[in-house]
Amino acid sequence: MKLYNTLSRSIEDFKPIDENSVKMYTCGPTVYNYAHLGNLRMYIHEDVLEKTLRYIGYPVKRVMNITDVGHLESDADDGEDKMLKGAKRENKTVWEIAQHYTDAFFRDIEKLNIKKADVVAKATDYIDQYIEFIKGLEKKGFTYIANGNVYFDITKVTNYTKLSGMDLEQLRTASREDVDVDVHKKNPQDFVLWFTKSKFENQAMKWDSPWGVGYPGWHIECSVISLVNLGEQMDIHCGGVDHIPVHHTNEIAQTESYTGKDWVKYWWHGEFLIDNDGKMSKSSGEFLTLSLIEKKGFNPLSYRYFVLNSHYRKQLAFSFDSLASAENAYTKLKSRVKSIKDNLDDKGANEQAAVRYKEAFKKCLEDDLNTANAITVLFDMLKTDELNSSQKLELVADFEKVLSLDLLKEETIEIHDELADYIEEMIQKRQDAKKNKDYQLADSIRAELLEKGIVLEDTRQGVNWKKIN
């Protein structure tokens, strides 16, 4: 298997530290709001990476953190506290916010057939371990205290920017320029390990520590959670490309300073999902969530299919038109599989051809996770005359260990609340259009619903609707 390693900036042969297992860490969500589609794209790619490793024979232990403690908008210890921001927005406690959006995140990944990590670690469960970690760095001379806060001194680290390849001036430019500069830092890129004083009054999440009552800096959680659950060295650390210059750079600095060892063998980063305004974020009013596309009538697995037809290291442009195209292709794929399933035939088996298709699928995944080519192999296999229908279904089941698109799952027609609300809203718009004698709009609404499998029936009593496969 070959993977792109951000650390070497090249595609490398994948060789785990221990041939009998793979240790993998994935940066989890900050649970102050719903995950947007850009976040979920990364989790889909990480899911495929883990399932591919298992598919080719590696046992995997994957750990993911849940950031449920104050995390600032900027990687550089600047900006607004996200958890506090969420609590103010919804008039809830930060603890209620954290639990609500943690639950929402796991509902989303279940709908997308993303496997839950073997270890899910809440940041707030590791406060004692953070304190011990900071004490260890303090003992080794990597920290200093200013204005009551404990800082990590990056000048004590050789090759601080080895992951990003940037010089320090580039890193300063990469950081947000519209935030207040922390005048207490010795160096602009130093970062906080423990806050006892910050610009936030009445901070809800605080704990006792040797340096005073406060809370941890956010870079520390991934380092400590991985050390506790995976040991001092691991194979793969995943995350978005936006984490490279600061967050992951700081993780490396503090972890390797603490252990005295190289920490991660392969740094694996995914590119952005972009919309018309560029990088997708939660800053806009109605940002793109899985619930939103469900409300518009889309199947969550159509989004998974959309993502799998792109490469994780390339930016992916999102639009509802492109999602609709993906859903159309996904629906046709499911129909083709169903047709094969309905016409089972086990005569004339060609074992050599079956092995050839399986190897072709595997090679695509081993080629830096080329899921788009893997799906092409799936289509070619379904169309070929070399295999009987029983062999095709066996291969679909095999490929599904990685793709996880429910291709063999029996369809059950379910109408979730978001879709029901959307249908009723569209029916009302159609009724208004007909009252205004805008029959073209009324017909287009009926056609739009029909594309999503919703059939309207006009009766004397009103409009009835039903969902069809």
User: DSSP per residue over 225-254, as a string?
Assistant: HHHHHH-S-EEEEEEEGGGIIIIIHHHHHH
pTM, two decimal places: 0.85
Whether residue 364 is annotated as binding a ligand: the answer is: no
Mean pLDDT, rounded, for 116-133: 97
Whether CATH 1.20.120 fits 278-403: yes
Task: Give the up-direction half-sphere exposure of residue 35: CA atoms within 13 A in the CB hemisphere.
Answer: 25
Mean pLDDT of the chain: 89
Least confident of 7-11, 291-295, 457-461: 457-461
Instruction: Judge whether residue 414 has pLDDT over 70.
Output: no
pLDDT tens sequence across 217-256: 989 999 999 999 999 999 999 999 999 999 999 999 999 9
DSSP conformational letter for 19? T
8 Å CB contact between 360 and 377: yes
8 Å CB contact between 386 and 350: yes
322 vs 201, residue with greater confidence: 322
pLDDT of residue 415: 61
DSSP conformational letter for 211? T
Cα distance from N-terminal residue to C-terminal residue, the chain: 39
Confidence class for position 397, pLDDT limits 50, 70, 90? very high
Confidence class for position 77, pLDDT limits 50, 70, 90? very low
Whether CATH 3.40.50.620 fits 2-270: yes
Whether residue 222 is annotated as binding a ligand: the answer is: yes
| For the chain, domain boundaries | 2-270, 278-403, 417-467
Whether residue 448 is annotated as binding a ligand: the answer is: no
Whether residue 251 is annotated as binding a ligand: the answer is: yes
3-state helix, strand, coil in the chain (%, to 5): 45, 20, 35
pLDDT of residue 175: 57
Whether residue 282 is annotated as binding a ligand: the answer is: yes
Q: By CB neighbour count within 10 A (0-12 exposed, 13-18 middle, 19+ buried), where does 52 fall?
A: buried
* Percent of the chain residues past pLDDT 90, beyond the cut: 67
pLDDT tens sequence across 328-383: 999 899 989 999 998 888 888 899 999 999 999 999 999 999 999 999 999 999 99
Which backbone phi and psi does 92 adopt, to 5 degrees? -130, 170
pLDDT of residue 282: 58
Calculated CA dihedral for residues 417, 422, 423, 425, nearest 10 degrees: 120
